[in-house]
Amino acid sequence: MKLKIQLYILLALVTLGELTAQSFEVDGISYNILNTTDVEVTSKTNCYDGNIIIPSTVDYMSNTYNVTAIGYEAFNNCDITEITLPNSLTKIEDYAFRDCRDMKAINIPDSVTSIGFGAFLYCTIMESVNIPEGITTIDRFTFGYCIALKSISIPESVTSIGTYAFSNCSGLITVNSYVVSPINISEHMFWNLDLSGIVLNVPAASVTAYSNSSVWQDFVVINGTLSIDSLEKKLDIKLFPNPVTNNISISGLKTAENYKIYDVLGKQVSSGVVSNNTTIYIENYVSGLYFLKIENTNAIKFIKK
């Protein structure tokens, strides 16, 4: 009897091992099964190209799996031009988008809590990217050599930033840090950049702290213009699509509200009144990162393609 139980346990372990190591492809996307409920997107022999849409769930062998991760080197050196990531995603692994030199922008879902080493290294034409609130660590070389990046926003949740995280981002003109107390960073975090030519925006109460903090104090201007209470704290109001080409719509509004749109430098570019599911036209905006501020509620980041 004891031997029979041991055999059942062994069979169950073998079956689970086979399940979690299994790879498959659906609609041109390759996946690896992580456990009984989750899969990650993986690389494939014929590299991905063009516009890629990753679903939140995928069906395989009568099972429905949640897509929770972009795996190691999944899109490394691929000719993708656009990618849509699902809100089921929680992790972007090391080198996931390294050398994606045709991708101009990416919108990382708020559900993502981990971005790996060199995840966007050498994305040389990527002009805008958002780092979601909830990320605690920006790893080494995460955005290294992203030479077209004009602005980067560091959310309040970040507690550590790795060496060379923004090295050689030669197009950088603005850094927005929502972190109240300056993070202790290496002098190589912004390696090969002249910080005296870059503007740093921080919370109003943190200007003195940043001005007296190593490396941060080297920025040409330190402005106390950011409000940590307003940046996407209320997630009941949604903006779509994001990234956007011509116009955006807002859902979740109960009444008509005043709005303002700001660019990454904090300059107001438009204003007006918006109601639930009405359209705001932005087709004439320059490509990049913007903030939509709804009066008395929240600011929402969006990317203009």
In the predicted model, is pLDDT for residue 1 greater than 60? no
Query: Do residues 150 and 172 lie in contact, with contact meaning Cβ atoms separated by under 8 Å?
Result: yes
pTM: predicted TM-score of the whole model, two decimal places? 0.71
What is d(CA 167, CA 188) in angstroms, rounded to the nearest whole number? 7
pLDDT tens, position by position, 189-217: 999 999 988 999 999 889 999 999 999 99
What is d(CA 257, CA 128) in angstroms, rounded to the nearest whole number? 27
Can you give the pLDDT at residue 259? 87
> What are the strands of the beta sheet with 257-263, ordered from one edge?
268-274, 257-263, 288-294, 299-304
What is d(CA 189, CA 204) in angstroms, rounded to the nearest whole number? 23
pLDDT tens, position by position, 92-146: 999 999 999 999 999 999 899 999 999 999 999 999 898 998 899 999 999 999 9
What is residue 197's DSSP assignment? G
State whether residue 301 is helix, strand or coil: strand
